[in-house]
Amino acid sequence: MERPGLVEVGQTVEVTESVTPFNVNYMIEPAVAMSGLFKLNDRIPADHGVVKAIEENDRGYYVTVTFEYE
């Protein structure tokens, strides 16, 4: 995340998935933050999650989202 205040801890967020031939990544909508790359077999089978933490460091803001799924 590039700047504070776009999401808050406890907020439910929608995520969209972007798939390449080898990897998958996720975007908190509307274009709030983007994940790193995951292997295809580590895909998240949910499209909503809850923001659990927001941390700031020299590189920006890191958002931790938890997902519930079976």
- Model confidence pLDDT, tens digit, residues 4-14: 899 999 999 99
> Element (H or E) spanning 64, and its range?
strand 60-66
Query: What residue segments make up the domains of the chain, in order of their start?
Result: 12-66
Task: Give me the pLDDT at residue 9, please.
Answer: 97
Cα dist from 11 to 14, 38, 50, 58, 65, whole Å = 10, 23, 6, 24, 9
2 confidence band (pLDDT: 50, 70, 90): confident
pLDDT digits 0-9 by tens, 18-42: 999 999 999 999 999 999 999 999 9
Task: Give me the pLDDT at residue 17, please.
Answer: 96
